[in-house]
Amino acid sequence: MAKKIFISQPMKGKTDDFIREEREKAIALAKERIGEEAEALDTFFQDFNASETKNKPLAFLARSLSFLADADVAVFASGWADARGCRIEHQCAVDYGIDVIEL
């Protein structure tokens, strides 16, 4: 069975195209490091409507954490330590025993 990869990456102030490119690079590097069959969870949410939500970043983080719960490996893209959502995802991965790869 393929390992499930969770990608955490800073997104604030970045274009969708840049986010997708960075994500693809992170997935490729993660698959190399894992060295076995792996599939990335789709955590670049374009179907999520948080327009009615008081705190949109927190709503996105909550959805993201639900995906992290299904991951075998969490991959943290460059700059993750400077993004509050990524830091929270990292702490959750560590605290709940999910393998971590920092790029």
Predicted pLDDT of residue 54: 85
Instruction: Quote the CA–CA distance of 35 and 22 in Å, as a whole number.
Output: 20
Mean pLDDT of 25-38: 91
Tell me what pLDDT residue 29 has.
Answer: 92
pLDDT tens figures, 33-89: 998 889 999 888 766 566 677 888 888 899 999 999 999 999 999 999 999 999 999
Closest CA to 93 of 21, 16, 4, 18: 4
Average pLDDT over residues 12-39: 92
Query: Predicted confidence band at 92 (pLDDT cuts at 50, 70, 90)?
Result: very high
Report the domain count for the chain.
Answer: 1
Pairing type for strands 73-76 and 3-8 reads parallel
In a domain, 58, yes or no: yes
Residue 78 lies in a domain: yes
83: tokens are 């993004």
Domain that includes residue 75, residue range = 3-44+54-102
CATH number of the CATH domain containing 72: 3.40.50
Closest-CA residue to 45 (of 28, 26, 64): 64
For residue 86 the two structure tokens come to: 């990524």
